[in-house]
Amino acid sequence: MNNSIQGLLAGVDDPGTALVTTTAGAKRPTWAQAEGSPLPLGVTWIEEEQAFNFAVHSEHAESVTLLLYSSTDLVNPLLTYRFDFLHNKSGRIWHCRIPLTEIGDSAYYAYSVSGQAVSYIHSFDNQKVLLDPWPSSIALSRCEREQTQAMHHWAC
């Protein structure tokens, strides 16, 4: 087996491998780094990557958009990330990984979900802002999270 194939196959049997090295020495992100991981549900801080992983379950959604808000404007999203169903969906779970450098001054997150109204149980309105059903907190930064917990007596 030549070196270029070994580089491409490095870490295939070890999903915990952080980066795959190619023959040119450049590092490619793993699938989870590029597209996010479906588990755990909710938002997860990945310390070694300095990134947040977002994962939400929606069986009947046709599209999901992540909305990131600043602490000073909770009406207009600072950043929106539309999930690509080919890259950011595994089964019934929509997921993405966003580096801290892209999140910028965002402090809170929510979702917008759209899809076909299958029945009266499954109706979608993409104009509604939805909170994460699996949050330990809707605040992204540690400082904001601690302030929110103190105000509302929430526990992480």
pLDDT digits (tens, 9 = 90+) for 29-55: 888 888 899 999 999 999 999 999 999
pLDDT of the residue at 41: 94
Give the CATH superfamily of 41-152: Immunoglobulins (2.60.40.10)
Predicted TM-score (pTM) of this structure: 0.71
pLDDT digits (tens, 9 = 90+) for 122-139: 678 888 899 888 877 778
- Domain range annotation of the chain: 1-35, 41-152
Residues 6+ apart with CB under 8 A from 22: 4, 7, 8, 28
pLDDT digits (tens, 9 = 90+) for 47-76: 999 999 999 999 889 999 999 999 999 999
CB-based burial of residue 55 (10 Å sphere; 0-12 exposed, 13-18 middle, 19+ buried)? buried
Half-sphere exposure of 50 (CA within 13 A, CB side): 5
pLDDT of the residue at 55: 97
